[in-house]
Amino acid sequence: MSLTESFTGSLAGSRILIGISGGIAAYKTAELVRRLTERQAQVRVVMTDSAKAFITPLTLQAVSGAPVSDTLLDPAAEAGMGHIELAKWAQLIVVAPASANTLARLASGLADDLLSTLCLASPAQLAVAPAMNQQMYAHPATQDNLAVLAQRNTLVWGPGQGAQACGDIGSGRMLEPMELVGLIEDYFTPHAQPFAGIKLMLTAGPTREALDPVRFISNHSSGKMGFSLAAAAAHLGAEVTLVSGPVTLATPAGVTRLEVESAAQMHATVMAHIAEQQIFIACAAVADYAPKTVAKQKIKKTADRDNMVIELVKNPDIVADVAALPNKPFTVGFAAETHDLAQYARDKLTRKGLDMIAANHIGLADHGFNSDTNALSVFWSNGQTELGLANKSALARQLLTLITEHYNDRS
C-alpha cells in the first residue's frame, strides 16, 4: 500500500478552512491543500489581497476543487454575506502562512477583510502557522501578539527554523505541509486524556547567571522541547505548570507559566510548588555553576588587564533535590551530551535517583538546542528505548506516552 493510499480517508468529512496571508511561504499552501483533499477533507480557501501576489486563486481552486474566496461582501452569496456562511461551515480554520501583519490583525480583533472577519465570526478552532523573517518573528510585538492568541486558545503551529528566502537563518519558516497535515489529523483524532487529574510541572529553556548588571553566563537552549512537552501534556489532560527560563516562545494554551532568570530562582520556584505535583520533568538546561559574586556595576575593560578570572560556585541541583523528596513525584531528567551519551545518561539516572531520563546528542545536526527536530534515547531502571529524529511536538507526545506507561506502573 502506498503512502498516499495509507492515509486516504483519515480526514473524511472534516471541514477545514485554509486562510492564506501574504508571504513567500504561500507557495507551500497548495501542497497542504492537496494533501488534505487527498485525505478526503472538505477544504475551502480564503486569500488576502497580498497573498495573491505570491500564488494565484486559480491554483488553489484546482487543488481544493472549490471556489476560492477573497471578498468580504460577496454578491453571489446568500444575503451577500459569504463570510457568515463560511464562518458557520468551518470546523477548523488554519491560517498558513500567518504573516506578522495577519497575526497582529487577529490579536487586535480587526475585521476589515474576509480572512480576519471569518476568524472573528466563526466558533471554529483557530490555528496559525507563523511565517516571516526571523527578526520580525523575534520582535516583542510579534511575540506579544502570539501570546495573546495563545491565551485565547488559538493553536500556534511552528514556526520552524532554518534558511529563509531573504537569506537570514533563524526561526520564522512555516512548518512543512506534511507537518501541518499531521497536526490537523491530530486535532481531528479523538484523544484519550491519560493525564486527566494529574498535576505536572516541568522546567524549560536556559538560565542566566549574572556577572554584572550587563553580562551573564548562559547556554544555547531555546526552550522548544520543554514548551512542546508542556503543550502536549496539557492536550493530554494534565494541569501543567511550566517554569521557564528566558525564551521568546508563546505560552501553550492551558499552561500556567512561571518565569525565572537564574538557576537559584528556578530552584526556588520549583521547590515552592513541587509538593502538589505528581510528575516532574526537568527539561531546562540549567547552568551548573554561577559567579560567586555579582558586580554591582558593569565590569570595565582596562588597558592593564588582559585576563579576568571569575570564581564560579555550584548551582543547586534542581532535579536531584526533587528526586530526593520523601514523597517525590515521578521524576524525569534530561541529559544533553556531546559523547558517551548512554554512559552519562545512565550514571545520571542512578546518581540522582530519577525514574526516567531522556538523553539527546547535541553534537549531531538537527538535534538538540535551537533545532525544531530532535531524537531521544530514553532510559529507566531496567530498560531503554530510542525515539528517532522527529519534530519536537511529535517527539513530546512519544515521550509522554512512555512516561504515562511507567508512571502507571509505579502507581
Q: Any catalytic annotation for residue 119?
A: no
**Non-local CB neighbours of 115 within 8 Å, separated by 6+ positions:** 19, 21, 46, 47, 48, 95, 102
Q: What is the model's pTM?
A: 0.63
269, pLDDT greater than 90: yes
**Pairing between β-strand 125-130 and β-strand 92-98 as defined by DSSP bridges:** parallel
Kindly report the CA angle at 14 between 13 and 15, in degrees rounded to 5? 115
Q: What is the pLDDT of residue 161?
A: 67
- How far is residue 95 from each of residues 248, 312, 399, measured CA to CA in Å? 21, 48, 28
Count of residues making up the chain: 411
318 or 5: which leads in pLDDT: 318
All three cell numbers of 244, joined, read 521557564
Catalytic residue among 12, 166, 310, 342: 166
Q: pLDDT tens digits, residue range 157-214? A: 888 766 666 667 677 889 888 888 888 988 887 666 889 899 999 999 999 999 999 9
Q: What is the pLDDT of residue 342?
A: 87
Q: pLDDT tens digits, residue range 210-231? A: 999 999 999 888 898 999 899 8
| Class (C level, CATH) for 3-188 | alpha beta
384: number of Cβ within 10 Å:
15
Q: Which residues of 271-282 are buried (b: 16+ CB within 10 A; e: fewer)?
A: eeebeebbbbbb
Q: Are 348 and 356 in contact (CB under 8 A)?
A: no
Max CA separation in the chain (angstroms): 81
Q: Are 63 and 30 in contact (CB under 8 A)?
A: yes
Q: What is the pLDDT of residue 135?
A: 87
Q: pLDDT tens digits, residue range 67-115? A: 998 877 666 554 445 567 888 999 999 999 999 999 999 999 999 899 9
Task: Answer yes or no: same fold for 3-188 and 199-410.
Answer: yes
Domain boundaries, given as residue ranges, for the chain = 3-188, 199-410
List strands edge to edge, sheet with 383-391: 255-259, 239-244, 199-204, 279-282, 330-337, 356-361, 373-380, 383-391
Predicted confidence band at 286 (pLDDT cuts at 50, 70, 90)? very high
CATH placement of domain 199-410: 3.40.50.10300
Q: pLDDT tens digits, residue range 317-328? A: 999 999 999 999
Closest CA to 7 of 148, 137, 157, 189: 189
